[in-house]
Chains A and B, each alone.
Chain A
Amino acid sequence: MASIVQFENVGLRYGHGPETLSDLSFTLREGTFHFLLGASGAGKTSLLRLLYLAQRPSRGVIRLFGEDMVLSPRERLPGFRRRIGVVFQDFRLVPHLSARDNIALPLRVAGMPEEELAGPVAEMLAWVGLTDRADARPPTLSGGEQQRVAIARAVITRPEILVADEPTGNVDPIMAERLLKLFASLNRLGTTVVMATHDHHLLHRVPDALVMELDGGRLLDPRAAA
């Protein structure tokens, strides 16, 4: 299996402060499933931001899809972003769009014709159990419902990489397992998944999953989840 993500001696510094992330070197192979663990403030979101191209590292090399992201010109980044699905820790839904339109957004950005949107969007709504709330706007949804909209939006394009920042933080355990199943089935279809979580119960729910653990901005030795 080819490697789809490669970090070499990556460091990240916000402003002039100390390094938030240091000496990150790891490789993710295509189609693998990774949990990212670490205490609050350990740098999980920071690492994921590098991964979904919201941020360039202060040093080191990041290669995605076999291409150097640090040297890639800015104009090429949108093309790479479309191949990465993201569940943001703070959801980032468009507040004046319905759940349905939020979920459809990545397809529209990618230029899918309007008449082809309805099917996939309805399917995703059903998957996350929000068919009844399709026309509701995010501010009128509960935290867990918003999170599910965010997840549906991240996976609707069948991205090559799925980056999820504590995607089950706001849902009950049953919904959490259901969402994890969604990720696992996407993973079986070939998507490489990186999921930050505090929920250790979920680790053994995904066979063959790997664990990366951050501690003070450095990676501990990789290990298997189970």
Chain B
Amino acid sequence: MIGRAAVQPLLDDRQGRRAMVWIMAIMIFLTTLSAALGLSTQGAGRALDRQLAARLTVQVIEGDAARRDAVTAALLGRLRASADVARANEVDRARLAELLEPWLGEAGLDADLPMPAMIDVDLRSGDDATVARVEALAKAAGNGIRVDRHATWLAPVRAFVAALGWTALGLVLVMASATGAVVLLVARAGLDTHRGTIDILHMLGSTDLQIARLFQRRIGQDTLTGGLIGALAGALLVALLGQRMASLDSQLADGVSLQPLDWLVIALLPVAFTLLAMFAARVAVLRRLARVL
């Protein structure tokens, strides 16, 4: 084994090392960001699925306000009694009017305007059979009742989130392979820089593994240093964006957050690339040495 003290001066090229550290920091920073985007979009998609699948809106469309209120009250009672329903609540009419105001103007606030009543229903399960049972139950309460699955009318949103997720996943793969390629390139360049030293060590009786270990260790150190800087910077930015997102106070934004497992994946990125770099350096050195006697 070549002693530790010998290792430092033996592969001394501080300028090259600093460049390596910064390149790795930037690559892993970008990889961290795309990974965070991918993971959080996936999380958002899952949250959306959970929310949408088990949620219905029931509209009672009836010109006569009194009859409408009666049907609505009866329907609410039936729905709440059903074992499939977790919660059923009428959407507050004042709130509804408020929402419609931009379209209807002040008139929207008029209680006499024929406005449908709306009931938000949370189901215990989002499977099709449950939805169908509750839909039938609602429709049996009278004419002019419409049942909308959130999943249906939010389908474009869901599709967009899915597309975003795939894009982010593609981005992660592209960034990861670019980082991997850079790591390989740097490992080879390091080998070229030190070709003379390697040949001398070889002639002095160093084993291939001794020499490979020198490079492996050095490139591993540089990649880990750069990787930690990059991942830390990336994680800080992601956390900052997460805070911003939380303050948006939207249901969709709730899903767009990283779970502990996601953070673990991000924390493992520099480690994974360090191992890749060490492996690449090792292979490059061993291959080169196998060509000489």
> Residues of A with Cβ closer than 8 Å to B?
52-56, 74-75, 77-82, 86, 88, 92-98, 101, 104-106, 108-111, 113-114, 153
Given contacts A92-B199, A94-B200, A114-B3, contact A77 B293 (CB under 8 A): yes
Residues facing A in B188-220 (CB within 8 A) are 196-197, 199-208, 210
Q: Does B1 contact A (CB under 8 A)?
A: yes
Task: Specify the main secondary structure of chain B where it touches its partner.
Answer: helix
Sorting the interface of chain B by its residue count into under 10, 10 to 19, 20 to 34 or 35 or more gives 20 to 34
Tell whether, in the assembled complex, residue B10 and residue A97 are in contact, meaning their CB atoms are under 8 Å apart.
yes
- What's the nearest-Cβ distance from chain A to residue B37, in Å? 43
- What's the nearest-Cβ distance from chain B to residue A55, in Å? 6
Chain B residues within an 8 Å CB radius of A74: 290, 293
The answer for the CA separation of A153 and B6 in the assembled complex, in Å, is: 15
Q: Does B112 contact A (CB under 8 A)?
A: no
Tell whether, in the assembled complex, residue B2 and residue A108 are in contact, meaning their CB atoms are under 8 Å apart.
yes
The answer for the CA separation of A101 and B5 in the assembled complex, in Å, is: 10
Ordered by A's residue number, 13 sampled pairs between the chains whose C-beta atoms are within 8 Å are A54-B203, A78-B202, A78-B206, A81-B205, A92-B196, A92-B199, A92-B200, A92-B203, A96-B12, A97-B9, A108-B2, A109-B2, A109-B206
Q: Which 5 A-B pairs have the closest CB atoms?
A: A82-B205, A81-B205, A108-B6, A78-B207, A78-B205
The answer for the CA separation of A55 and B202 in the assembled complex, in Å, is: 12
- What's the nearest-Cβ distance from chain A to residue B208, in Å? 8
Tell whether, in the assembled complex, residue A52 and residue B13 are in contact, meaning their CB atoms are under 8 Å apart.
no
The answer for the CA separation of A203 and B5 in the assembled complex, in Å, is: 41
- New A-B contacts (20) at CB < 8 Å, excluding given A94-B196, A109-B205: A52-B203, A54-B293, A80-B205, A81-B205, A93-B200, A94-B197, A96-B9, A97-B9, A97-B12, A101-B6, A101-B10, A105-B200, A105-B201, A108-B2, A109-B2, A109-B201, A109-B206, A109-B210, A114-B5, A153-B204
- What's the nearest-Cβ distance from chain A to residue B207, in Å? 5
- What's the nearest-Cβ distance from chain B to residue A163, in Å? 11
Given contacts A55-B293, A56-B293, A74-B293, contact A96 B13 (CB under 8 A): yes
Residues facing A in B228-269 (CB within 8 A) are none
The answer for the CA separation of A56 and B293 in the assembled complex, in Å, is: 8
- What's the nearest-Cβ distance from chain B to residue A173, in Å? 29
Contact with A along B67-105 (1 / 0, CB 8 A): 000000000000000000000000000000000000000
Chain B residues within an 8 Å CB radius of A114: 3, 5
Interface centre among A56, A78, A81, A98, by most B CB within 10 Å?
A: A78
Tell whether, in the assembled complex, residue A79 and residue B205 are in contact, meaning their CB atoms are under 8 Å apart.
yes
- What's the nearest-Cβ distance from chain A to residue B3, in Å? 5
- What's the nearest-Cβ distance from chain B to residue A66, in Å? 18
Chain A residues within an 8 Å CB radius of B13: 96
